[in-house]
Amino acid sequence: MNSSILTSLPTELAGGKTQGVRPADSPIVNRPFSHSSLSTYEQCPARFQFAYIDRITKPYEGIESFVGRRVHEALQFLYEEVTSGRLPLFDAVAEFYSDCWNEKYYDGVKVIKRRFSVGHYFNMGRDCLNRYYRKHQPFDQPVEETEYTMVFKLDENDDFEMKGILDRLDDLGNGRWEIHDYKTSSRAMSQADADRNRQLALYQIGVQKELEEVKSMSLVWHFLQQGEEVRSERTPKQLENLKRRIRNLVTDIKAATAEGGPFEPVETPLCNWCFYWEECPAKSGHNPVVKRGLSA
Ligand code: SF4
């Protein structure tokens, strides 16, 4: 890896994407918010309450999440090898992916879409890597960081922090930078959706607080199932508007938390990927996929 010009984080903040970073009794308002936690509140306040206020953990996850993390690990391995002066064959990347899958697979990984098997998802992840490998070898992109964790304030006088984990940050030189994000989703994002996407624009705000000179910043999504790349940029005014919208949302969350709610359930098809059915007032019993035992 290139010698980083970004600020190093304490080790307790530099863990994987699903690891807690603060003591379990720390209230949500004193912990960093993330794009993911804000999205959860927007989609279903009840789910936000269970996950981020009550901090109820469940021994389940959807297989889409599991395969996404294995693919991210394999791409990180690939770039670590390249920046160490070794260009691994695709077989070595596929073997790393397979080893991680076998080592980390557990009964709580649930297949929600009944028409697909676990093997389907394993092959889908490997195909994503194969497609990416063929398209981007010999991986001479100017990689500055991979899987980089940031905790930052939108502005210094804000009373809350944001957290983000960049998949990859490239330094093109002369103040030109790119933030890259890998997606294993079944559909690629439209240009219009990319132009209003919050996640990478938020990361741009965080990165720009750590860099001395930014003349341009491109936001790049790699849709690995489709082999498509989508790019976008933000103006300073758009970033200021984003900060304002995030502040308003955090203010709403803090007010609801201080008042003890209400955190209303919002039923959507995303309920199929939610494992808080026992706690949810809109549901009864377990998420059916838990009962079906489709993890094998
Ligand atoms: S089951 Fe649906 S409505 Fe209930 S908490 Fe989960 S996402 Fe919200």
Q: What is the pLDDT of residue 27?
A: 60
Atom of ligand 1 at shortest range from CA of 274: 6
Q: What is the pLDDT of residue 293?
A: 53
Q: How far is it, in rounded angstroms, from Cα 268 to Cα 126?
A: 30
The answer to whether the CB of 271 is under 6 A from ligand 1 is yes
The answer to whether the CB of 56 is under 6 A from ligand 1 is no
Distance 281 CA to ligand 1 centre (A): 8
Q: What are phi and psi of 162, to 5 degrees?
A: -115, 155
Does 210 or 121 have the greater pLDDT score?
121
Q: Whose alpha carbon is nearest atom 1 of ligand 1?
A: 271
pTM of the complete model = 0.88
The answer to whether the CB of 94 is under 6 A from ligand 1 is no
Does 127 or 16 have the greater pLDDT score?
127
Does 13 or 95 have the greater pLDDT score?
95
Q: What is the pLDDT of residue 8?
A: 32
Q: What is the pLDDT of residues 208-227, one digit of tens each?
A: 998 888 899 999 999 999 99
Nearest to 131 by CA among 90, 190, 174: 90
Q: What is the pLDDT of residues 263-283, one digit of tens each?
A: 999 999 999 999 999 999 999
Residues of the chain with pLDDT > 70: what percent? 89
Q: What is the pLDDT of residues 24-81, one digit of tens each?
A: 455 666 789 999 999 999 999 999 999 999 999 999 999 999 999 999 999 999 999 9
Distance 241 CA to ligand 1 centre (A): 30
The answer to whether the CB of 274 is under 6 A from ligand 1 is yes
The answer to whether the CB of 89 is under 6 A from ligand 1 is no
Probe residue for ligand 1, chosen from 277, 284, 289 as the CB with the greatest number of ligand atoms within 8 Å: 277
Q: Mark out the alpha helices in 11-117 (DSSP H runs).
A: 35-43, 45-48, 63-83, 90-104
Q: How far is it, in rounded angstroms, from Cα 179 to Cα 245?
A: 22
- Please answer whether residues 289 and 272 qualify as being in contact, where contact means their C-beta atoms are separated by less than 8 angstroms: yes
The answer to whether the CB of 47 is under 6 A from ligand 1 is yes
Q: What are phi and psi of 229, to 5 degrees?
A: -120, 130
The answer to whether the CB of 45 is under 6 A from ligand 1 is no
Average pLDDT across the chain, whole number: 89
Structure tokens at 181: 């994000």
Q: Give the pLDDT band (50/70/90) at residue 162.
A: very high
Q: Give the pLDDT band (50/70/90) at residue 290.
A: confident
The answer to whether the CB of 267 is under 6 A from ligand 1 is yes
Probe residue for ligand 1, chosen from 52, 267, 273, 279 as the CB with the greatest number of ligand atoms within 8 Å: 267
Distance 170 CA to ligand 1 centre (A): 38
Atom of ligand 1 at shortest range from CA of 275: 6
Q: Whose alpha carbon is nearest atom 7 of ligand 1?
A: 271
For residue 27, count other CB atoms closer than 10 A to its CB: 13
Distance 270 CA to ligand 1 centre (A): 8
Q: Which residues of 61-92 are buried (b: 16+ CB within 10 A; e: fewer)?
A: bbbbebbbbbbbbbbbbbbebbeeeeebeeee
